[in-house]
């Protein structure tokens, strides 16, 4: 299938400010792109790209005072298959884990592993290690935490979510990630596009989405504690220890958000012929 991706984000800048944007499709999906994946900036200015320590593609810019618009649109080919599934994927011993996965076992800004380790062991220690244990964590978080945009809070941590039992997309993932790490399963936060493809359309406006990945059986696997089902057309943008590592934009000063819109739509079959002609 073909999926149209895009976004438009506007700010009012009261004084010149440096910014970092993380709005590109992840380098692991570059080969699937059918159009350039470019960041368009108004007013025109110098934009420099780089790859961060987690392998994400980022952009640096210095915005002048006034209105700022960041936008982009691209077309990507997707297999149309649901998220990969392997109930036999095994959990590695700590000694057998690759060096680069170890950071995903530790505390991070929103994931207080040390404060939830005992809880995680009590809730899931009896479940067989590996895929079944991660799925049990997703089932628990999905069933115990209620979703609501009115519960969004930039300072909310996994412990807060466990205590309050409410949150938005990222909060579900932070709690699941923390439980996985507490049980020695490397888990990392992921963000990207997840349109209403193969599911009933949501009533809320389209937004970027969050999920998480765990390292089992020698590779990373996608899990989603918020929706807790295999989905079609998931397009990765960035990974990190938690949401603090993958912010869509980071401004080193004041930047007031005035508009935000996202597109993630399957290209209808009639248009596919025109695109591929």
Give the tens place of pLDDT for each residue, 233-257: 999 999 999 999 999 999 999 999 9
Kindly report the pTM of this predicted structure. 0.95
Residue 85 counted as domain residue? no
71 and 176 in a common domain: no
Structural domain range at position 49: 2-80+248-276
Strands 187-194 and 209-216: antiparallel
Helix 131-144 to helix 113-124 angle (10° resolution) is: 100
Residue 88 counted as domain residue? no
25 and 162 in a common domain: no
**For the chain, what is the domain count?**
2
206 and 151 in a common domain: yes
152 and 39 in a common domain: no
239 and 103 in a common domain: yes
Distance between CA atoms of 260 and 264, rounded to whole angstroms? 14
Q: What is the CATH number of the domain that holds 74?
A: 2.60.40.2250
Model confidence pLDDT, tens digit, residues 190-238: 999 999 999 998 888 899 999 999 999 999 999 999 999 999 999 999 9
177 and 43 in a common domain: no
Residue 86 counted as domain residue? no
Instruction: Please give the backbone phi and psi of residue 257, each rounded to the nearest 5 degrees, phi first.
Output: -70, 130
36 and 159 in a common domain: no
27 and 139 in a common domain: no
1: tokens are 């299938």
Residue 269 confidence class, pLDDT cut points 50, 70, 90: confident
148: tokens are 């609501």
């Amino acid at each position: 299938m073909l999926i149209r991706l895009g976004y438009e984000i506007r700010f009012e800048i009261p004084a010149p400010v440096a910014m970092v944007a993380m709005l590109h499709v992840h380098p692991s999906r570059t080969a699937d792109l059918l159009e350039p994946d470019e960041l368009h900036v108004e007013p025109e200015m110098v934009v420099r790209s780089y790859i961060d320590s987690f392998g994400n593609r980022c952009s640096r810019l210095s915005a002048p005072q006034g209105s700022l618009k960041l936008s982009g649109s691209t077309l990507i080919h997707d297999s149309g298959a649901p998220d990969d599934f392997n109930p036999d994927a095994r959990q590695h011993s700590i000694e057998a884990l690759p060096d680069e996965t170890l950071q995903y076992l530790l505390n991070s800004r929103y994931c207080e592993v040390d404060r939830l380790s005992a809880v995680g062991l009590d809730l899931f220690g009896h479940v067989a290690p590996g895929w079944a244990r991660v799925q049990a964590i997703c089932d628990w978080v999905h069933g115990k935490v209620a979703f609501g945009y009115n519960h969004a809070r930039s300072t909310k941590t996994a412990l807060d979510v466990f205590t309050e039992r409410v949150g938005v997309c990222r909060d579900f993932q932070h709690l699941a990630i923390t439980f996985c790490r507490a049980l020695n399963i490397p888990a990392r936060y992921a963000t990207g596009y997840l349109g209403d493809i193969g599911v009933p359309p949501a009533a809320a406006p389209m937004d970027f989405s969050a999920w998480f990945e765990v390292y089992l059986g020698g590779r990373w696997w996608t899990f989603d504690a918020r929706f807790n089902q295999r989905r079609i057309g998931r397009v990765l943008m960035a990974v990190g220890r938690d949401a603090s590592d993958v912010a869509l934009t980071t401004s080193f000063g004041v930047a007031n958000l005035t508009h935000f819109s996202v597109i993630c739509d399957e290209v209808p079959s009639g248009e596919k012929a025109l695109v591929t002609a």
